[in-house]
Amino acid sequence: MSAELMTVAMFGTLILAITLGHPLAYTLAAVATLFGLIDNGWDIPGLFNMFANNTWGLMNNYVLVAIPLFILMAQLLDRSKVADELFETLYVVLGGLKGGLGLAVVVVCTVFAATTGIIGASVVAMGLLATPALMKKGYQKEMSAGIICAAGTLGILIPPSIMMVVYGGLTGLKETSVGNLFAASILPGLLLAALYFVYIWIRCTINPKLGPPITKEEASKWTGMQKLMLTLKSLLPPMALILAVMGTILAGVATPTEAAALGAFGALILAILNRKFSWQVMKESAYATMSTTAMVMMLFIGGKFFSTVFLSMGGGDVVADVLVGSGMNRYLVLFIMMAIVFVMGMFIDWAAILLVTVPIFMPIAMELDFDPLWFSILLCVNLQTSFLTPPFGYALFYFKGVAPEGYTMGHVYRGIMPFVGLQILGLVILAIFPDIITYLPRIFFGE
């Protein structure tokens, strides 16, 4: 069977299996096993050795130790109620503006994103905390759902991000080390937060019924100095944690793995200071960390099996010949790769998309003379849309699971559409102005 036919058959089988609802990690591994055996003439010991060697090489990567540590940090922070206190403060500070509570959600999610890197934690926490307040103040259901889902997904992009750790472990390139990826993703993450912020403010200014402000009586309960003190009190703890984690990485004092350990310890201290720590909290956090890490690692293994077989049978060369050998303009090739990732994001988990596409697309990007770091961040920003795009956007189901009665999936789907458009706009801006991505890595790590 030719490499071209095997490539089409392998991807077709994967899509069919996913559509039938089989677990993604096992689907990737099963499809890889089937086509690996077909490709090597049913040499079971040979395929087993190839899988074992690749899995050992993957799990021997020291950078991946940061994954359970960052997850533990997120779990402890979620239970320390740092986000709750910050939202209550910003409710007071920004509530008097049109769309002020929505703006407060964006700010809290941005700060929370820089301390957790876990989408589920941000969306669920803000869904439970902010949705009742938004409903009480008369916010449109679609607007409320869109704000919480979109702002909650910032955690996958703004460092410390699990996705960046996974990406850095996959490529093994100096240009796309975890430190470089963290530095490069800061401004793109803030750009998306700014786009959300401006959009909410403009929409609610034009039509205040979408996001009415709190009453003047409520806004006047606190003086300017009281608001300042409240803000400092609620902002300083998470900002100190951000500085401890990101500051040590960007200053070159600690590796991402060491910084993750420091972050987990800092989150534990915050939980103790907020009087939210108990052995039950520690037990629940450890169990959630274990189950989430196991899920990520199983996806890693399944995705590694798939990409190994796909590349060994010549699938990567087939894709490269189609995209590069066609003589198309390199930016058209970039557009096609981004479109493929966007469509895959509607159906497949981000980790599986990375594990399947990065080994194929990164060599193509480098052959086309694209900056590897710039291309990587574009891919990661694109992947953020996978949490919002129907039918399988994870953030949509996280939110629906905790939303008060009266919210339907129709409200959620309609609410996220403008924010998906804003994410695409942000992607276009980053493609046109690459310095937004490369500026901070140059400052911290040189050329």
Average pLDDT, the chain: 82
Higher-scoring residue by pLDDT: 110, 117 = 110
Claim: this prediction has a pTM higher than 0.75? yes
Confidence (pLDDT) at 244: 82
Q: Which is it for the CA torsion 63, 124, 298, 171, positive or negative?
A: negative
- Of the chain, the percentage scoring pLDDT greater than 90 comes to 16
> Where are the strands (E) in 130-282, listed by range?
none
- Residue 325 pLDDT > 70: no
Residue 338 has what pLDDT?
93
Please state, in angstroms and rounded to a whole number, the distance separating the CA atoms of residues 131 and 140: 11
Q: With cut-offs at 50, 70 and 90, classify the pLDDT of residue 240.
A: confident
In this structure, the number of other CB atoms found within 10 A of the CB of residue 384 comes to 27
> What residues contact residue 268 under an 8 Å CB cut-off, 6+ apart?
76, 277
**What is the pLDDT, as a whole number, of residue 53?**
83
Longest dimension (CA), the chain: 77
Q: What is the pLDDT of residues 358-373, one digit of tens each?
A: 888 988 898 889 999 9
Give the H/E segment covering residue 279: helix 279-312
Q: At 222, is the pLDDT very low, low, confident or very high (cuts 50, 70, 90)?
A: low
Give me 135's structure tokens. 């409903």
Residue 186's pLDDT band, with cuts at 50, 70 and 90, is very high
The arithmetic mean of pLDDT across residues 66-71, rounded, is 81
In this prediction, residues 235-255 reach a mean pLDDT of: 81
